Amino acid sequence: MTEKKFASQADLEEKKISWEKLSDNAYAYTAEGDPNTGVIIGDDSCMIIDATATPVAAQGVIAKVREITDKPIKYVVQTNYHAVRVLGASGYKDEGLEQIIASRDTYDLIVERGQQDMDSEIGRFPRLFQAVESVPGLTWPTMTFEGEMAVWLGDLEVRIKQVGRGHTKGDSIVYIPSQNICFSGDLVEADAACYTGDAYLADWPQTLDNLAAMNFDKLVPGRGPVLMTPAEVQKGLAYTRDFVGTLYTSAQEAVAQGMDLFATMAHTRKNMDPKFGHVFIYEHCLPFDVTRAHDEASGIRDPRIWTAERDQEMWHALQQAS
């Protein structure tokens, strides 16, 4: 059989950009399953949540913000460390950028594996990393926090919080308490696969329960359409819980039966394909997802570091199981 092109190397078609208003302060920049960017416009300054893959791509977000306001964009928040979300941060340096904020756990992940992740992701997503030469290097937080912190955009309070491990150990959400609006990063996805290559799959469902208990009215997921009502928010949480749970349960069953990674992929597909085979970036994510799920179910508590070389070896080994 012909091997599928690696990851998203065949995904070269431009996505349709959507710019959605959630309130007088909150906006979402989405693109058909590409990583979403959140925007909060306060009284005296603005905040960006997740900064796109390159500074060139960030110009699209900046253009939308500048249609509304000339207030400085003082803050960029990294909800996790993945390159596709953060390497565009340098695009804001001429817009008034003062602080790049992330959890201490995210900072530690950049120290430990940021360069390998950057090299790996650039190979996976050629369309998102167009103009990759504009990336000056890793995006380093200038301010870190543990647990929770508040940022004031004039009189508008924004909170940044860790609600548990899931997509990575450093995941953060950003929310506006007065408006009950949340930007979840990749802890929640909508109509898109969850990338779990660096995940804590056993922890993720409880983290989603913690998030559900906050009862947000609107939520911008890491990928996919904005969830604009409480019912849609709960549906997005349930979808993510189902994806993560089906993946991990499948891997646990496979490991209990002594299956190797190749057999685990085939077993997982039987359970996953009917429910999730149609969603954004499913085929891209699944080999990475199954590899991590098999590791965690086998007792490897912390995710192994992905390198460009490991990516390719895994991909070729698992293609026959597709």
pLDDT for res 104: 98
pLDDT for res 65: 97
Q: Cα separation of 25 and 183, whole Å?
A: 13
- Assess whether pLDDT exceeds 80 at residue 5: no
- Which pTM value belongs to this model? 0.95
Q: Cα separation of 242 and 97, whole Å?
A: 38
Q: In the 8-state DSSP scheme, what is residue 199?
A: -
The better pLDDT of the pair 311, 207 is held by 207
Q: Which fold has domain 18-242?
A: Metallo-beta-lactamase; Chain A (3.60.15)
pLDDT for res 317: 83
For the chain, give the longest Cα–Cα distance.
60
- Phi and psi at residue 302, in whole multiples of 5°? -100, 135
Please report which confidence band the pLDDT of residue 155 belongs to, taking 50, 70 and 90 as the band edges.
Answer: very high
Looking at every residue in the chain, the average pLDDT score rounds to 94
**Average pLDDT rounded to a whole number, residues 28-41:** 91
The first and second tokens of residue 312, run together, are 């390719």
Please report which confidence band the pLDDT of residue 125 belongs to, taking 50, 70 and 90 as the band edges.
Answer: confident
Helices (H), 17-103: 55-68, 83-86
**Average pLDDT rounded to a whole number, residues 118-131:** 89
Convert the pLDDT of each residue in 190-204 to its tens digit.
Answer: 999 999 999 999 999
pLDDT for res 1: 42
pLDDT for res 277: 96
Convert the pLDDT of each residue in 132-153 to its tens digit.
Answer: 999 999 999 999 999 999 999 9
Q: What are the CA-CA distances from residue 93 to residues 49, 81, 97 (Å)?
A: 15, 19, 5
**Average pLDDT rounded to a whole number, residues 242-269:** 97
Convert the pLDDT of each residue in 74-107 to its tens digit.
Answer: 999 999 999 999 999 999 999 999 999 999 999 9
- Assess whether pLDDT exceeds 80 at residue 3: no
Residue bearing tokens 């991990």:
248
pLDDT for res 310: 93
pLDDT for res 199: 98
